[in-house]
Structure 1
Amino acid sequence: MTKLRNKNIIITGASSGIGEEIALQVAEQGGNPILVARSVDKLKRMKMELESTYSVKCSFYQADLTDLSEWRRTLHQIMEDIAQVDALINNAGFGIFNKVGETNWEDIERMFQLNVYALIMGTHEILPYFINRREGHIINIGSQAGKIATPKSSVYSATKHAVIGFSNALRLEVEDQGVFVTTVNLGPVRTNFFDMADPSGNYQKAIGRYMLDPEKVARNITKALFTNKREINMPGWMEMGSKFYNLFPKLTERMLKSQFNKK
């Protein structure tokens, strides 16, 4: 409970879902959340609630991370405003479940801009600061979809596969420079992510009982902060499935074809 006290932690996509839960738990443990999202009204409310409830310092910055120039400016402003930044949690992201041929090209670009380019941009800009201090933690929210690609998630899976590959290489690059890199690979989480990914609600109905609790996810993430943890994989049975898939991809696709097509 004390390792987060007075730590300044940037959280992207902080106004809802997992990001909101992480901010709450960081504040609960005495850390200072630095909130980044597009919804300024929600960020203002969160700042007031977190500061009044937990007596921490909470700052917020409105930014559209798909605009990389805006995200760079925002991050530099954070670095100017905050005396010391201790961690960056690249949480912002979204998905649209659709077949490739039926997906708008604009949606494909937006998924890569937010899920991949903004994540790499944020990491690229803050990494020299962490290396200079020989201290810092970067947590990148990947997905089990980056390990097992399924129909209607081709583009989303590609973005998360990129996140995992980027994080794995980065971890090796900075492991002797005092910087931790953790990847969080999740199955379906009960958040508003599916409002855009699955507007019909059919997929949520099909897998509802398997969906992860965002509070539990956030608890595992905050627990891993400032520890040299390689990955967080949830749920465990899905991670076991991804390992089996790596060994026997053709067999897995044949066995789980009906499950893969539930979207």
Structure 2
Amino acid sequence: MNKRLKGKNIVITGASGGIGEQMALKAAQNGANIALLARREPNLLAIQHRIEQQFSVRVLVFSVDISKRAEVEKAFTAIFSKLGSVDVLVNNAGFGVFDEAHQASWKDIEGMFQVNVLGLISCTQFVIPHMKERGSGHIINIASQAGKLATPKSSVYAATKHAVLGFTNSVRMELSRDGIYVTAVNPGPIATNFFEIADQSGSYVKSIQKLMLDPEKVASTITKAMFTNKREINLPKWMNVGSVLYALFPRMVERVGKKAFFKK
């Protein structure tokens, strides 16, 4: 349980499934009011109904394409009007497509940057002024271990997550004087529908099936960290060792891990 969340207002993007849905359920269980943002409105309404049946909290639903600035602005205007404030923003919306760089379609490349990077920045811009005015808040950006250690067939996806980490690290320092926490979450592969798009052949999922994270456990870890000054959450912890080694010995890691990296 996280008693700090009781009565707080939490916005979660990419909330129509996976860890977004699980975080919404965990936060509501802890007494927080929730604003759910995603494109799939039927899924959002189902989650809203489920939460309202179980917990005495407010649940707002917004069908939003995070890549469209006007839709994001409209949603946040409504959120501030109805809830009055945003205490926690979880930038969870994102997707990936695994292709080698020369094979990636321009549509997929633009889409990944629009959602994973620009959409995240857009949402963050709308909450920062309000959090600064109140002198409190928590921004949680779901990045990836791919943002620390890029591998073959994920060049564009990894580039977006490197961008997310760069943005997060800078914003953390900018807001450190305002009582606002900023956390990066770097998970490895999670057992969600992410791979229905990212790995349509199913070969990558098959090779790492035993290593995939449980979305409920990931959501629980993130929810427990809300309103704590946690710089990063790396899941699983052992996988982050590879990222640390890569930062120190990139040539060695690329040589030793080459065979494993090409399993994607």
Q: Which TM-score bucket, shorter chain as reference?
A: over 0.9
TM value normalised by structure 1: 0.98
Q: Which residue pairs with 2:209 in the alignment? A: 208
TM value normalised by structure 2: 0.98
Aligned residues: 263
- Unpaired runs of at least 5, structure 1: none
The one-letter code sitting in structure 1 at the alignment partner of 2:91 is N
Q: CA separation in 2, counterparts of 1:123 and 1:64?
A: 15
Shift of 1:47: 1.0
Per-residue displacement from partner, 1:164-201 (whole Å, max 9, x unpaired)? 01100110111010110000001000000000000111
Q: CA separation in 1, counterparts of 2:26 and 2:234?
A: 19
The one-letter code sitting in structure 2 at the alignment partner of 1:245 is Y
Per-residue displacement from partner, 1:28-52 (whole Å, max 9, x unpaired)? 1111111001111111111111011
- Comparing 13-22 and 64-73, the one that deviates more: 64-73
Q: CA separation in 2, counterparts of 1:48 and 1:212?
A: 26
Q: CA separation in 1, counterparts of 2:83 and 2:55?
A: 19
Q: CA separation in 2, counterparts of 1:71 and 1:107?
A: 21
Q: CA separation in 2, counterparts of 1:41 and 1:208?
A: 29
Q: 1:62-73, aligned counterparts within 5 Å?
A: 62-73=63-74
Q: CA separation in 2, counterparts of 1:217 and 1:146?
A: 17
Per-residue displacement from partner, 1:5-47 (whole Å, max 9, x unpaired)? 1111000000111100100101111111110011111111111
Shift of 1:84: 2.2
Q: Which residue pairs with 1:120 in the alignment? A: 121
Q: Which residue pairs with 1:75 in the alignment? A: 76
Q: Which residue pairs with 1:171 in the alignment? A: 172
Q: CA separation in 2, counterparts of 1:188 and 1:206?
A: 11
Q: Which residue pairs with 2:185 in the alignment? A: 184
Q: Which residue pairs with 2:99 in the alignment? A: 98
Q: Which residue pairs with 2:228 in the alignment? A: 227
Q: Which residue pairs with 1:260 in the alignment? A: 261
> Is 1:40 matched up with 2:34?
no
Q: CA separation in 2, counterparts of 1:33 and 1:258?
A: 44
Q: Which residue pairs with 1:13 in the alignment? A: 14
Q: Which residue pairs with 1:249 in the alignment? A: 250
- Unpaired runs of at least 5, structure 2: none
